[in-house]
Structure formats: C-alpha cells, structure tokens
Chains A and B, each alone.
Chain A
Amino acid sequence: MKKLILAAAASLLMTASAYAEVIKVGVVGPFSGPFAIQGKNFKAGIDAYLAEHGNKVGENTIEILYRDVPQPDPAQSKALAQELVVKEGVQYLAGFYFTPDAMAVTPLLKQGNVPMVIMNAATSAIVTKSPLVVRTSFTTWQTSAPMAKTARERGVEKAITVVSDYGPGVDSETAFKTTFEKEGGTVVESIRMPLSTNDFSPIMQRVRDSGAQAVFAFLPSGPTTLGFVKAYNENGLKQAGIQFLAPGDLTQESDLPAIGDAGVGILTTFHYSIAHDSPENKAFVAAAQKAIGNPAELSFPSVGAYDGMFVITKMIEATGGKQDAEKAVEAVKGLAWESPRGPVSIDPETRHITQNIYLREVAKGDDGGYYNKEIKTFEKQPDPGLAAAK
C-alpha cells in the first residue's frame, strides 16, 4: 500500500515537472540536522541570486531541487545525486557542504553528462577527481596559509596549532605549519583533538605549557567553537598575551552573537566577511538576509552558493540550455567577475576560484552587534593546497 502511494506521488511529480525548457539544478546539502544552518545559507544564497536576476536565462527557466544529506554520508549523497540525474533529469549538480559527499558524486558526472558546482566542500583534492568539477567556495589551504604569513609579520616566532582531528582540521594544520616554517617560524607543537571534545580547558593548559606566543586553531563552525573561544578567555590565555589565530570558519557570523565579547580581537583569515565594503556586497547581503529570514543566520556558505548560481547561469548561456557538461565547464574556465566578496576568477587549470583572502578582526559594531572587520587584503590567492599535494 505504502509503495502504491509512493509510486502515485512519484509519477505525479514526474508529470508535473516534464515541461520543456526547464533547466533543473539539483542542490545537495545539509538542510536538517546539526548543520542545518549551512544548508539554509546555501538556499539563501541561491534565493538571493534568483531574486536579483530572475530565474530566466534566455528562453530557459531555472528550477532548483533540494536534497538533504544532514551529516557527512557519501553513500546517501551519491544515491541522491544519482536519483537527481536519472529520475529528475537535472542538468547541473550543485551544493555539497562536506568533502566526502562531493567526492562520492564525482564518478557520476561523466556518465551523467552533468557538471558539478561545489558551493562549499573545501578539500583541495576534489577538483582533481573529475574535470567536470568547478568550485566557487574556498579551500582550507587557501584560507589557512595567509594566517601563517600574518603571524610572522606580527613577530610571532613560536606557534602551536590546535585542530579538530578530521580531514579539514589536518589540512588546516599542514597549511599553517608548512607556510609558517617556510617563513622562518617554528611550530612547537601540533595538537589534534577529537571532534567530540566539549571541555577545552585541558587543551588550553597544554597551549599554555608549550610556551608558544600564538595559537592557531581550526574547528568546524558550530557549538564547539563557542566552547573553545570561551575556554581561551577563561583559562587566562588572553591575559597571558597568547595570540589567537584561526581561519574564518571559527568566527562564522552566525556564531558571533553567541561568542559575544569573548571573541573581540580574534584574528582570522577568510575569503568572505558579511561586512565586506562594496556595493555588490551590500546588495547581496540585503537580498540574502531577506531570503534567510533571520539576518543573524547569514554567513559564508551563502556567498559560495550565490557565486555558484552565477557560474551555472553562465554555463546555461554558453550551452543554450542543451545538456553538454564539457562545453559548460569549458565556458567558465578563466571567467572573472566581481563577487560580493571582491574580485574573483575561475582558474582555467584547477577550476577552483581565485580570490582575495582577507585578514579580519572580530569587532563590535555601533549597533552592538559583532562583525568580522577586514583589516588587510591578500590579493588574488590561488589554492596552494593542490601545489603542495603534488
């Protein structure tokens, strides 16, 4: 009986969406579960793009289909992507918050003749898995390496790294360490802690004992960052003058209100701050805040999604709405435009986005809210991660 109902519903869906000239884009991301806020940001970025530019590209209409993978689950991601391609007939796959979810889908692209636009997943190697992958977000290497330069410029000789023990954390650690040592600094200790760590006091004790002048940290955005920053303050590291450095995942805008005063003064390097000062960004933030509902929830995945949509519309223009993955990807190689985050371009070789990385400081605004204030720009940064892996 259940099967019958499902079948009836499925066939209904199929007939309803069988119009010509509708170009479907399948977006896979975490729309529920612990990372729901990131998925919400995907949707906000996409909605903002469609609100600004409409859903028509020439004759064709764009239709977005969302699929939920709440936590890293490559098998589920692949099954959903497969379903999107064979059942829903999507011409583009997009989204992908987690690296394993994106990696799992890359073998499908060629067979399905579908390009994939990654709106977040930040491990360098994904773009090498298929020539049909384009990324409009960032890589952990890209955002972590400039921090090492900053630390050296600010006179830090000895640093300690503390990262969550999983792929992106290890990436971030290597990126910082490699760059920092190349610039003549020493990393006295590298701590990897389990993702499930709640109480960071013992870690802070170790940081203190290590005698480092600065601590470089990477944790996935979410509840743990709050505990980490608080532990940094409460265990007297701030008073002891140990500098807090991190890539911008740690001071994601949606976490800032919760971190509050404890976060003021933290230095991060990242590709996008909502406070970026440009007319493009003002327009984007206005549209995206409207799309997400609660303005406090807006943060970096939205800009990856927004630019992802831009890239997809360029692909649709280039192919005239016909399904031709190779031509579509070819068309956006070398594409340069002014994104809300600043000037960006798609590197023709790696198909990853080349962009400015900003050094930011958490500051308190006149309205009492907190924001990431950009204080320095590293211009046109490619992804150093791929070069390092070779």
Chain B
Amino acid sequence: MQTFFSIGVDALAYGMILFVISIGLSVTMGLMRVVNLAHGAFAMIGGYIASYAARDLGLAYGLAVILAVAGTIIIAIPLERFLYRRIYGAPELTQVLMTIGITFCVIGIANYVFGPTLKTIPLPPDLQGPVDLGFRTIAAHKLFAIFCGVAVALGLWYLIERTSFGVKLRASVDNTAMAAALGVRTKIVYAASFALAVGLAAFGGVIGAELLPVEPYYALRYMVTFLVVVSVGGAGSIPGALIACLLLGAIDTTGRYLVPEYGEFFFYLAVIAIVWVFPRGLMGRAK
C-alpha cells in the first residue's frame, strides 16, 4: 500500500510536469491548427534565459521565471510575424518542415551561444531538498510543479472558456473569415494566442528543468513525448491534455517501477491501446 502511494505521488508529479510543458503545444496544435515542432525549442529558450538570469546574474527564482517567459515571448514575436504567419492554414507537412527548420536553427544557435553543457536553474532554498510526506520523502520542487500544473490548468480553462478573449479565439479558429467579418481582429488574436502558447512553453521549460535538464538538444529530445501526450489527449482540449498527462505519467512511472527492462514497451503499447479505443484522442473533437 505504501509503495502504491509512493508510486502514485511520483506519477502525479511526472504527469504534471509533462502537462505544464506540453499544454502550450495543445494550444498551438488544437486551437491554432499549427503542428509546431518547435515547441520544445521555445521551452528550451525559456530554460536558458532562466538559467542565465538566476545562475549568472544571481537574480531571484521568481524573477528569473518571469524574465524567461517574457524573454521567450519577445523572441517569438518576430518569428510569429515573419515565419508562422506564413504557415497558418498551410498543409501540416509544410508546417512540419518549417518548424523543424526553426528547431534546427535554435539548436545550432544555442549550441554556439551557450555551449553543449547542461545548464541548471538554481532553486530557491524553499524548493530545494526533500519534503517528508509521512510515508515517504519527495523533492519540494516536485510539489511546486504539481501546484503550477493545477494553476495553469485552471487559469487556461478560465481564459478560454470564460473570457472574451477566449470567445474570440475559439471563433477565429472555427471560422476565421466569419470572425473577421464580425469585427474580431483575427491577426491580433492569433498573435496573442501564439504568445500565450510560447509563454507556457517557456514556463514549463523552467519548471520542468529539474527533470528535463536544459541543453541544446532539449528541443528535439523531448519533442516526441510532448507530441504524444498532446495527441493522446486530443489536441486543443485542456481537460484532455490533463487526463492524458496524468494517465501516461502513471503508466510510465508504474511501468518503470514494475518492469524497468520493458518500460519503453509498456509505455508505447499503452499509447497504442489508448488510441485504438479513442482514435481521435481522449477528448478530441470529431471533425
């Protein structure tokens, strides 16, 4: 029983970290209909900025997180304006080509600027070290990640379902021409939601850095994982992404505990099984 809880906590933490990093991708893929393979690259940029701010400049952790999110958005705005705007509505394969190109460039530049070594983001004392839960210890930053995951999920749900921005966004996505005719400035809405997605990526990159350390190849190394959780959840659905992250986190963690040798099999067979039952993802909308 104790083992069960123990694994459960690990699974929850892992799932939440996955959620924070990949939810931005769910926004771009599901709502904006862009297969953004450069999502990991943005998360990585966020990680680098935070690492530079906290480690090299010695700024406080909170400030580093804010700088990372803001900085990544600032870097992303010209990219949106000059590159992404050209591929809205383009065939997915074209989007894949463009965003892989962007990813390659970002990796190359990161390697050149920061070098190939691992970069860490020093945590504030409160988040360091283990916390005793009674039946086991867990790293404090993992609890923090769980908290961030919940906050992001609630915030996003409120933004998309309850605010006027959310209404405009959903309208622009469902029918751009009609939304524009009704006076929605779709270009601005797209740019804003792109910035939102990128900001979430950066945030996730920083929060998850303890588990997925920042290095130049980050951008491609974890891309597959992000793509898998978003698609299993059903792109564009926040509850779907949340469930998928928790479910896959649980499967992955349990698999690695019970049968580490076959952990990879376990995970991907589960993915196949889920998609077999839900061919459009857990909460995917039928076309």
Q: Which residues on A are within 8 Å of B, measured CB to CB?
A: 32-34, 36-37, 40, 165, 191-194, 196-199, 201-203, 205-206, 209, 222-223, 226-227, 230, 233-236, 254-255, 257-258, 260, 293-294, 296-297
Q: Is B118 an interface residue (CB 8 A)?
A: yes
Knowing A202-B254, A202-B256, A226-B213, the reply to whether A194 touches B118 (Cβ < 8 A) is no
Contact at B253–A236, with CB atoms within 8 Å? no
CB distance from A72 to the nearest CB of B (A): 14
Query: In the complex, A92→B14 CA distance in Å?
Result: 48
Q: Which residues on B are within 8 Å of A, measured CB to CB?
A: 3, 6-7, 10, 13-14, 108, 111, 115-120, 129-130, 136-139, 142, 210-213, 215-218, 221-222, 225, 252-254, 256-257, 260-261, 263-264
Knowing A192-B260, A193-B256, A199-B252, the reply to whether A234 touches B137 (Cβ < 8 A) is yes
Q: Which residues of A contact B136 (CB under 8 A)?
A: 235-236
Query: In the complex, A205→B137 CA distance in Å?
Result: 11
With both beta carbons as reference points, the residue of chain B lying nearest to A33 in the complex is identified as B217
Q: Which residues of A contact B6 (CB under 8 A)?
A: 205
Contact at A223–B257, with CB atoms within 8 Å? no
Contact at A205–B213, with CB atoms within 8 Å? no
Contact at A234–B263, with CB atoms within 8 Å? no
Knowing A230-B210, A297-B115, the reply to whether A36 touches B216 (Cβ < 8 A) is yes
Knowing A226-B118, A234-B139, A297-B117, the reply to whether A192 touches B10 (Cβ < 8 A) is no
Q: Which residues of B contact A37 (CB under 8 A)?
A: 115-117
**Which listed residue (A192, A236, A254) contacts B261, Cβ 8 A?**
A192
Query: In the complex, A82→B125 CA distance in Å?
Result: 55
Query: In the complex, A165→B261 CA distance in Å?
Result: 7
Query: In the complex, A206→B256 CA distance in Å?
Result: 9
CB distance from B280 to the nearest CB of A (A): 26
Q: Which residues of B contact A234 (CB under 8 A)?
A: 129-130, 137-139, 142
Knowing A192-B261, A234-B139, the reply to whether A201 touches B217 (Cβ < 8 A) is no
Other than the given A203-B256, A227-B213, 17 more pairs (CB < 8 A) read A34-B216, A36-B116, A193-B260, A196-B264, A197-B260, A198-B212, A199-B211, A199-B252, A199-B256, A205-B6, A222-B215, A223-B212, A223-B215, A235-B130, A258-B119, A258-B213, A260-B120
**Which listed residue (B221, B225, B263) contacts A193, Cβ 8 A?**
B263
Query: In the complex, A36→B138 CA distance in Å?
Result: 34
With both beta carbons as reference points, the residue of chain B lying nearest to A231 in the complex is identified as B139
Contact at A258–B10, with CB atoms within 8 Å? no
User: 4 closest A-B pairs (Cβ-Cβ)?
Assistant: A202-B257, A234-B139, A258-B118, A37-B116
**Which listed residue (A34, A193, A227, A230) contacts B217, Cβ 8 A?**
A34
Contact at A209–B10, with CB atoms within 8 Å? no
CB distance from B248 to the nearest CB of A (A): 12
Query: In the complex, A32→B116 CA distance in Å?
Result: 9
Q: Which residues of A contact B257 (CB under 8 A)?
A: 202-203, 205-206
Contact at B119–A202, with CB atoms within 8 Å? no
Q: Which residues of B contact A226 (CB under 8 A)?
A: 118, 120, 213
CB distance from A302 to the nearest CB of B (A): 14
Query: In the complex, A294→B115 CA distance in Å?
Result: 8
A-B contact pairs, 30 of them (CB 8 A): A33-B217, A36-B216, A37-B116, A40-B116, A191-B261, A196-B264, A197-B263, A198-B14, A198-B211, A198-B225, A199-B14, A199-B256, A202-B254, A202-B256, A203-B256, A203-B257, A203-B260, A206-B257, A222-B215, A223-B213, A223-B221, A226-B120, A227-B210, A230-B139, A234-B129, A234-B142, A235-B136, A255-B118, A260-B120, A297-B116
Query: In the complex, A206→B253 CA distance in Å?
Result: 12
Q: Which residues of B contact A222 (CB under 8 A)?
A: 118, 215
Query: In the complex, A254→B119 CA distance in Å?
Result: 11
Query: In the complex, A202→B261 CA distance in Å?
Result: 13
Query: In the complex, A202→B211 CA distance in Å?
Result: 13
Q: Which residues of B contact A206 (CB under 8 A)?
A: 257, 260
Query: In the complex, A132→B212 CA distance in Å?
Result: 41
**Which listed residue (B7, B118, B139) contacts A205, Cβ 8 A?**
B7
With both beta carbons as reference points, the residue of chain B lying nearest to A37 in the complex is identified as B116
Q: Which residues of A contact B254 (CB under 8 A)?
A: 202
Contact at A202–B213, with CB atoms within 8 Å? no
